[in-house]
Structure 1
Amino acid sequence: MRTEDWEMLAELYRTENITQAAQRLFLSQPTLTSRLKKLESYYGVQLIIRKQRGITFTPEGEQLALHAQKMLYEQRKIEEQLHNMKDQVSGTIRVGVSNFFALNKMPKLLRLFKQSYPDVEFQVVTGWSSEMHRLILNHDVHIAFIKGDYIWNETKHLLYEEEICVASPWDFTWEELPHLPRIDYHTDEKMRSIVDHWWYSNYKQNPNINIQVNQVETCKEMIINGLGYAIIANLVVRPYTDLIIKPLPLPSGRFITRKTWMYYHEDTLQLNIVKAFVQFIETLDVKAL
């Protein structure tokens, strides 16, 4: 198999969806399907089974997909070792970034880093923090920027801590909150759990959700335009001084916060490029960017 075939099988195995895999590989769906059929013909076995939604791998297909993942890992490893032997900071660093961090912090970080290390290239994957946690666990990325606390037995560096708050276009009391229109947005499971636990610890009735959106940025625009309040991370709404922002209180008198971390494997610091990037991030005040 060629490297392109390894990448195709690994992405199909990861997404279990031909359309999503094609999009991530920047291929048309017919092109990906054609390449898959050629592989099936070459090996003389069926690799996938199409379902109503997505695909599943046959035992033979799963074996080949796992082999593809292993070969991609070995290929990246030898490329990194060769770059590292040059004793200079160059090559490609793979980074997994949570959605908010990708939109609001990552472009500035990459621009600043490339000013010092212009020969470095980046492969950036964005998504929910839970997805980035999986990527770093599987060594699919060198570094992951993750919001929230996930199981991790290796090195991580705290970037900042922010309050979870109610952001509203009008003033309110805590007693009024269940009766006011709330804007809800799609978020990761940990954030959802934090918000729901706080809500049902303080109120018996369900929130009055009258608008639901997919992205936190859309939610923010809805708040700014006076359509309702939302329970949201402080950094999202901090620049908007006209909004009423109140952190979620705990019975102890403290406020609910959420941390953003940089996760990485200690052994990847043997790579000049990873070591330089980690040291660069650790010297910055990321929250202030």
Structure 2
Amino acid sequence: MKIEDYELLLQLQECGTIRATAKKVLISQPALTQRLKYIENYMGGSIFLRTSKKLVPTPFGEIVLNHAGNVLQTEEELRQRLAQTEGRVSGTLSIGASSLYSQYFLPELLQSFTKEYPNVTIDLVTGVSEEIRQSADDYHIAIVRGEPLKDYQSLHLFSDRLYLLDLLPFSKDVERPFIEFKSDPDFQRLIEQWMESHPSLLVKRLIKVDHFETAKQMMKRGLGMTVLPESIIQEGKDDYEYQLLHRDGGAITRETWACMKSGISHLPQVDAFIKHLTEEGSK
């Protein structure tokens, strides 16, 4: 068995079908089916039950899949130890990052990082901060918004002031739709507290979208008002009506953090990324 065979088994488990897996790993369905047949013959039993909807691991297959995960984890740990011993910056760097940071900051950062460290493989997962928090143990570095992760080493990246924006002038007499977007509970709590302290703001909470960029585009077309962080509207906010959110005499901000488990920065690729992150942030 090759490492690629174990990786393929886990891809099949994740994708659930031959078709979806073949599309993801960029090989034909017949070739994939043939490879799975070879692996099952080698192992001596059926790993998946083929149903009309998806592949279901058999009890035999559950043991094999668990072994596959252990093999890949051991292989990665070996590569990291060897790289650390030789002082090379290589191996896999796993990052879980909030959607906003991933869209507006991470592409440029990873472009310069991978140019400087071409032997590092980036394993990136994005989502709202709450999703990244819940799976933080899966990553070398978790980049989250709001509060830093407890019991993690945390590097503060930046503060983001929050603004209420609308294409039309704000009015105490005209009720306007408020555009909400999917976010984590911490952000929602900030918005709710601010709105409760401004009862004169007339809003209709009728529009809910999946992403902050969708809310931004709808606001730009006059469909309602929304609250957005400064980092994504900094250059164009003068084109709209805007109001900085305040509380207790100060601006309401949203913090961004890079969080790591204790000792993880000893890995060369993690140490290099944190240094790169710090250097780029200071420019």
**TM-score of the superposed pair, with normalisation by structure 1:** 0.76
CA distance in 1, matches of 2:214, 2:193: 24
Q: Does structure 1 residue 142 correspond to structure 2 residue 140?
A: yes
Against the structure 1 CA distance between its residues 272 and 46, is the aligned structure 2 distance closer, same or farther, given a 3 Å change threshold?
A: closer
Deviations 1:43-92 (A, max 9, x none): 5466579798x887666655544433332221111112222333232343
Against the structure 1 CA distance between its residues 22 and 45, is the aligned structure 2 distance closer, same or farther, given a 3 Å change threshold?
A: closer
1:19–1:29 Cα contact (<8 Å) kept: no
Alignment partner, residue 242 of structure 2: 245
Against the structure 1 CA distance between its residues 19 and 36, is the aligned structure 2 distance closer, same or farther, given a 3 Å change threshold?
A: closer
Residue 4 of structure 1: CA displacement? 3.8
Against the structure 1 CA distance between its residues 45 and 88, is the aligned structure 2 distance closer, same or farther, given a 3 Å change threshold?
A: closer
Q: Does structure 1 residue 285 correspond to structure 2 residue 266?
A: no
Q: Does structure 1 residue 270 correspond to structure 2 residue 266?
A: yes
CA distance in 1, matches of 2:116, 2:45: 51
Q: Percent identity?
A: 25
Residue 238 of structure 1: CA displacement? 1.6
Alignment partner, residue 155 of structure 2: 157
Deviations 1:95-121 (A, max 9, x none): 222211111101211233345434444
Alignment partner, residue 176 of structure 2: 180
CA distance in 2, matches of 1:267, 1:156: 12
- Map 1:1-289 → 2, pairs under 5 A: 2-8=2-8, 10=10, 18=17, 22=21, 25-26=24-25, 34=33, 42=43, 44=45, 62-138=62-138, 141-149=139-147, 151-173=149-171, 175=172, 179-200=175-196, 202-203=198-199, 207-240=203-236, 241-250=238-247, 252-285=248-281
**TM-score of the superposed pair, with normalisation by structure 2:** 0.77
- Partner secondary structure for residue 208 of structure 1: strand
- Partner secondary structure for residue 181 of structure 1: strand
- Residue identity in the other structure for 2:109: L
- Residue identity in the other structure for 1:225: R
CA distance in 2, matches of 1:20, 1:264: 36
Structure 1 portions without partners, runs of 5+: none
Residue 36 of structure 1: CA displacement? 6.6
1:94–1:142 Cα contact (<8 Å) kept: yes
1:8–1:25 Cα contact (<8 Å) kept: no
2:98–2:128 Cα contact (<8 Å) kept: yes
CA distance in 1, matches of 2:245, 2:12: 41
Query: Matched residue pairs, number?
Result: 280
- Residue identity in the other structure for 2:96: G
1:169–1:226 Cα contact (<8 Å) kept: yes
CA distance in 2, matches of 1:32, 1:127: 33
Range with bigger deviation, 43-52 or 206-215: 43-52
Structure with greater Cα Rg: 2
